[in-house]
Chain A
C-alpha cells in the first residue's frame, strides 16, 4: 500500500537491560489488515501496545496519518482496541458499554443512541442492548468489545489476540466476522496473534516476528510459500526436513537414505559429500511420482485421518516425511506398513539458510 497510513519507524523497546523490540519498521496502508504473528515473547504485543500508547518506545517513531503519536497518551490517539480478556465493564449493560466512549466525549444522547443501535446491528446483536456481559457468551462479549472500540469512530483498530480465549469453532466464525466488519468500515487494523492459521486466513499482510525483530513481512501466500528464513518456514505451517548427502555437486544430485535424487535448487556453494537439509511442505509431497518429480520409495508408518485431509507419515529408510492427500471416499488411504512411492516436485523444495 502506497499511502503509509501507519508508519512505525525503527522502534526499539527495552525494559531495563532487556531489549524486547529491536528496530521494528512497518508501513501500513489505509484500510489494510496487518497481522503480527510470532511465538510468545517475540515482542508483537509490545509493538501493539506502543501503537496504543500504553508503552513508550525507547527510540523510534510511530506516525499515524502523518501525525507523530510517539509521545501522546493513549486517550489522545483516537485508536480503538480489543483485548484478549474482553474487558467489558461488568457494571454496564451492552448498550452502556458500547456508548462508553461517546458518553465520555459528551456527545448528545440522541447521537449516542443512534450509534449504539448502528453498532449492535453491525455486530449482529440487535435487541441485546439491555443484557449484561455475564449474560453473554464469550463470542458475543468479544463482539461487544469490538463494537465498543469502533463506536467512537477511531482512526485505527488494534486487536490483541481477541480470539485466544474462545473455543475453536467460535474462533473461526468470529475471525470471519471481524474481517467482514473491518472490510465494511475500511478501518486500518493491526491484529496480534500466535495462531498462524488465523493470521493466514484474514490478513492482507503478515509480519512474522521472532525475538524482537521482523523475520519476514508479506502477503499470506508469499509468507507460506516463500518463507525467507528457516524460522518462518517452521513457524508458519508444517515443514518436512530430509537429511541428505550431496553426491555430485556439479550434477546437483543428492542421496537420501541411499536413494538418488536430482535437486536443481541445490545452492552453488554445496560440495560433494556435504550433508544438507532439504525442506518442503507436506502438501508438496504426493503419493506416486509424476514426470520430473523426485521419486522416493518408503513405507507408510502412520495414517492420521483429519477429515477432508489424510496425513500420512512415510519412512524412507531413516528420514520420515509427512504428506497430505485429500480424502476421497472411493479411495481408502494406504494401509500401515504398505510400500509406497512418494513424489516431490523439485521446485517445491525449499533451501533455507
Chain B
C-alpha cells in the first residue's frame, strides 16, 4: 500500500495556521519593543501596574461570573423541559437562540436603553447596580447561542427522558432530578458554555460602553487610542485568557461522565 501524498494537506494547513499565527507573533513581538533597542516585558509591567486594569478586569470577571450563573439557571431548565415535554418547540428555540448572532449588539443595547431608562416602568439604568443587572442580562442574551448549544449537546449525549422517568418512579422531585440526575451528567457541557460566555464577557465593548460601565472591553479600547505598546500587550493577555478558557473546555471534556451502551 502506498502512502497517500499529504503535500497539499500540509500546505493548506500551514497557510491556514500562518494566517492566524503570524499576526499574533507580530503583535507579541511588537509588545516587547517598549524599551528602545531591546526586547522587554515593560509593556506588560505597565499594564499590570495600571489600577484601571485591575478595576476593569475585576469588574468584568464579576459580571462574567453572574452572567454564567444566570445563564445556567435560565438555559438548563429550559433545554430540559423542551427536550422532555415540548420537543416540538425545539426548532423555535434554535431560532430564538440564534437571534443574538443576527441582531447587532448596538441595536440590542439601544433597545435596552429605551425600555429600561430612568423614566421607564423598570428603570434599570437609574442606578449603578440596576445597570449592572441590565448588563448581566444583556450578556446572558449575547451568550445564549453558545450556552444553549453547549447544554443541548450535553443533554443529547444522555437519555434524559429515561433517566428522568427512572428517577420519577423513585419519588424524586423535578428539582432533585435536575440537580442530581441531569446536572452532574452535563456539567462538562455546561462548563464549555460557561467558558465561552466568560470569553465573550471579557472582551465585549459595545454594550458595556453604551451602558457606561467600567468593563474590561472599553478599557482595552481606551488604552488602544492613546498608548503604543500596551494595547499589543493587552491583546496578548486577552488572547491568553480566551485560550485558557478554551483549554479548560478541552481539559474538562476528559472528565465527562461516560455512557455505556454495552450489549455483553
> Binary interface profile of A, 132-153, with partner B (CB < 8 Å = 1, else 0)?
1111111101000100110010
| CB of A304 within 8 Å of the partner chain | no
> Binary interface profile of A, 35-48, with partner B (CB < 8 Å = 1, else 0)?
00000000000000
Q: B171 to A105, Cβ gap below 8 A?
A: yes
Q: Which residues of B contact A52 (CB under 8 A)?
A: 165, 169
Tell me how many residues of A have a C-beta within 8 Å of chain B: 40
B binding-site residues for A, Cβ under 8 Å = 158-159, 162-163, 165-173, 176, 180-181, 184-185, 257-264
Interface residues of A in 71-101 (CB under 8 A from B): 73-75, 77, 79-81, 83, 85-91, 100-101
| CB of A170 within 8 Å of the partner chain | yes
Q: A138-B262, A166-B263 are in contact. Are A89 and B181 (CB under 8 A)?
A: yes
Q: Smallest Cβ distance from A215 to chain B, in angstroms?
A: 28
Q: A83-B165, A90-B158, A90-B185 are in contact. Are A104 and B170 (CB under 8 A)?
A: yes
Q: A74-B165, A105-B171 are in contact. Are A141 and B159 (CB under 8 A)?
A: no
Q: A81-B165, A138-B264 are in contact. Are A91 and B171 (CB under 8 A)?
A: no
Q: A52-B169, A81-B165, A90-B158 are in contact. Are A133 and B260 (CB under 8 A)?
A: yes
Q: B263 to A81, Cβ gap below 8 A?
A: no
Q: Smallest Cβ distance from B183 to chain A, in angstroms?
A: 9
Q: Which residues of B contact A100 (CB under 8 A)?
A: 167, 170, 172, 180
| CB of A291 within 8 Å of the partner chain | no
Name the contact of B263 in the complex, choosing from A79, A133, A138 (C-beta under 8 A): A138
The CA of A342 and the CA of B7, in the complex, are separated in Å by: 73
Q: A89-B185, A90-B257, A91-B257 are in contact. Are A80 and B169 (CB under 8 A)?
A: yes
Q: Smallest Cβ distance from A173 to chain B, in angstroms?
A: 12
The CA of A88 and the CA of B258, in the complex, are separated in Å by: 11
CB-defined A-B contacts under 8 Å, sample of 11: A75-B168, A80-B169, A81-B166, A85-B162, A89-B163, A90-B185, A100-B167, A138-B264, A149-B169, A167-B263, A170-B263
The CA of A100 and the CA of B177, in the complex, are separated in Å by: 11
Residue of chain A at shortest CB distance from B257:
A90
Q: A132 to B165, Cβ gap below 8 A?
A: no
The CA of A89 and the CA of B159, in the complex, are separated in Å by: 10
Q: Which residues of A contact B168 (CB under 8 A)?
A: 73-75
| CB of A335 within 8 Å of the partner chain | no
| CB of A114 within 8 Å of the partner chain | no
Q: Which residues of A contact B158 (CB under 8 A)?
A: 90
| CB of A305 within 8 Å of the partner chain | no
Q: A90 to B258, Cβ gap below 8 A?
A: yes
Q: A139 to B159, Cβ gap below 8 A?
A: no
Q: Which residues of A contact B181 (CB under 8 A)?
A: 89, 91
Q: B163 to A167, Cβ gap below 8 A?
A: no
Q: Which residues of B contact A352 (CB under 8 A)?
A: none
The CA of A321 and the CA of B173, in the complex, are separated in Å by: 58
| CB of A54 within 8 Å of the partner chain | yes
The CA of A167 and the CA of B181, in the complex, are separated in Å by: 28
Residue of chain B at shortest CB distance from A49:
B165
Q: A101-B171, A134-B258 are in contact. Are A87 and B166 (CB under 8 A)?
A: yes
Residue of chain A at shortest CB distance from B181:
A89
Q: Which residues of A contact B159 (CB under 8 A)?
A: 85, 87
Q: B264 to A170, Cβ gap below 8 A?
A: yes
| CB of A165 within 8 Å of the partner chain | yes
Q: B170 to A87, Cβ gap below 8 A?
A: no
Residue of chain A at shortest CB distance from B259:
A90
Q: Which residues of A contact B262 (CB under 8 A)?
A: 136-138, 141
The CA of A299 and the CA of B104, in the complex, are separated in Å by: 82
Q: A167 to B264, Cβ gap below 8 A?
A: yes
- Other than the given A75-B172, A85-B261, A138-B261, 8 more pairs (CB < 8 A) read A75-B168, A75-B170, A75-B171, A89-B163, A90-B185, A104-B172, A134-B259, A135-B260
Task: List 5 A-B pairs, minimum CB-CB distance, nearest first.
Answer: A101-B170, A90-B257, A134-B260, A91-B184, A134-B258
The CA of A146 and the CA of B176, in the complex, are separated in Å by: 21
Q: B163 to A87, Cβ gap below 8 A?
A: yes
The CA of A134 and the CA of B158, in the complex, are separated in Å by: 13
Q: Which residues of A contact B176 (CB under 8 A)?
A: 104
Q: Which residues of B contact A89 (CB under 8 A)?
A: 163, 166-167, 180-181, 185
Q: A89-B163, A90-B158 are in contact. Are A136 and B257 (CB under 8 A)?
A: no
The CA of A81 and the CA of B164, in the complex, are separated in Å by: 12
Q: A54 to B259, Cβ gap below 8 A?
A: no
The CA of A145 and the CA of B159, in the complex, are separated in Å by: 14
Q: Which residues of B contact A101 (CB under 8 A)?
A: 169-171
Q: A137-B262, A138-B263 are in contact. Are A75 and B257 (CB under 8 A)?
A: no
The CA of A102 and the CA of B162, in the complex, are separated in Å by: 19
Q: Smallest Cβ distance from B235 to chain A, in angstroms?
A: 39
Counting chain A CB atoms within 10 Å of each CB, the highest count among B163, B171, B259, B264 belongs to B171
The CA of A288 and the CA of B206, in the complex, are separated in Å by: 94
Q: A75-B172, A104-B176 are in contact. Are A136 and B260 (CB under 8 A)?
A: yes
> Binary interface profile of A, 143-178, with partner B (CB < 8 Å = 1, else 0)?
001001100101000000000011100100000000
Q: A91 to B264, Cβ gap below 8 A?
A: no
The CA of A138 and the CA of B260, in the complex, are separated in Å by: 8
Residue of chain A at shortest CB distance from B158:
A90
Q: A87 to B162, Cβ gap below 8 A?
A: yes
The CA of A211 and the CA of B201, in the complex, are separated in Å by: 57
Q: Which residues of A contact B170 (CB under 8 A)?
A: 75, 100-101, 104-105, 148, 152
Residue of chain A at shortest CB distance from B159:
A85
Q: Smallest Cβ distance from A198 to chain B, in angstroms?
A: 16
Q: B166 to A83, Cβ gap below 8 A?
A: yes
